[in-house]
Amino acid sequence: MVVPATRLPEADPSPAFLSALRAAHDAGSRVVSLCTGSFVLAAAGLLDGRAATTHWMHADALARLHPSVEVRADVLYTDNGRVLTSAGKTAALDLCLHLVRADHGAAAAAGLARRLVAPAHRPGGQAQFIAPPAVPLPTDTLGEALEWARARLDLPLTVEDLARRAGLSSRQLVRRMRAETGTTPLAWLHRRRIHLAQELLESTDATVEQIAARCGMGTATTLRRHFHRVVGVSPLAYRSVFRASSPPRRDAFR
């Protein structure tokens, strides 16, 4: 059940609606609020004792009206399992992509994000199940260099390799990367390798050792360490949750 934004300053949902909302939650439904819809969930008592968020302009009002709610004004969304809340309208899209990712996997969420011309994930200052990073939109030589690197993640690529491909000095590359992708070359490579590992875990029957080699992580031990730090679970645990229902691809490494 999704509750959209509601009018403020006084959200006054009907008792019948609040009762229906509580009944749906008690029956096991997932309840989601977008933007100021969190006021409705709070009025129904579904946010008591839970972390929740809303648009930052209304966070103080939510905390004042519902002191039993742990209001987080510094995050894009909160996920309490069956009760989720988002901040403003763009953050509502972040939460919806998070739900797609949870239900259908990282590849599905990334594909939808590209169609929406939106990042698949934006850091929100909250511990959460880390999503694959969005692919930067190609921009002249930098975009070409990043696509070149994406096709060679199994190789020991360096900042100098990327800079040479982009026709820039290493220092210029770092500045351009920060300006256009918000990250450093090495951090971008690391996240792309983790993203590739997620895709291969979802869509192939390759072993962790094979995936580690394909992603440029070297050994299964290295992949497990970095994967757990970024994603929060082991590669095999991730596969058990996000493995595609269709038959796995067996030709991914040919």
Segment 39-77, tens digit of pLDDT: 999 999 999 999 999 988 888 899 999 999 999 887 888
In one-letter notation, the amino acid at residue 60 is D
Spans of all domains in the chain: 2-115, 135-254
Strand order in the sheet with 31-33: 2-3, 31-33, 83-86, 77-79
Segment 113-165, tens digit of pLDDT: 888 877 776 643 333 333 444 444 445 668 888 889 999 999 999 999 999 99
Segment 154-209, tens digit of pLDDT: 999 999 999 999 999 999 999 988 887 778 999 999 989 998 998 899 889 999 99
Q: What span, in angstroms and rounded, lies between the C-alpha atoms of 17 and 112?
A: 32
Residues 6+ apart with CB under 8 A from 203: 107, 244, 248, 249, 252
Q: What span, in angstroms and rounded, lies between the C-alpha atoms of 12 and 34?
A: 16
CATH superfamily assigned to domain 2-115: Class I glutamine amidotransferase (GATase) domain (3.40.50.880)
Segment 74-110, tens digit of pLDDT: 788 899 889 999 988 888 888 999 899 888 888 888 8
Weakest mean pLDDT among 6-10, 25-29, 121-125, 226-230: 121-125
CATH topology of domain 135-254: Arc Repressor Mutant, subunit A (1.10.10)
Is 35 noted as a catalytic residue in this protein? yes
Catalytic residue among 35, 93, 110, 173: 35
- Whether 24 shows a pLDDT value over 90: the answer reads yes
∠ CA 34-38-43, nearest 5°, is 145
| Percent of the chain whose pLDDT exceeds 90 | 46
How is 142-179 classified by DSSP, letter by letter?
HHHHHHHHHTTTTS---HHHHHHHHTS-HHHHHHHHHH
Greater model confidence, 87 or 250: 87
- Whether 9 shows a pLDDT value over 80: the answer reads no
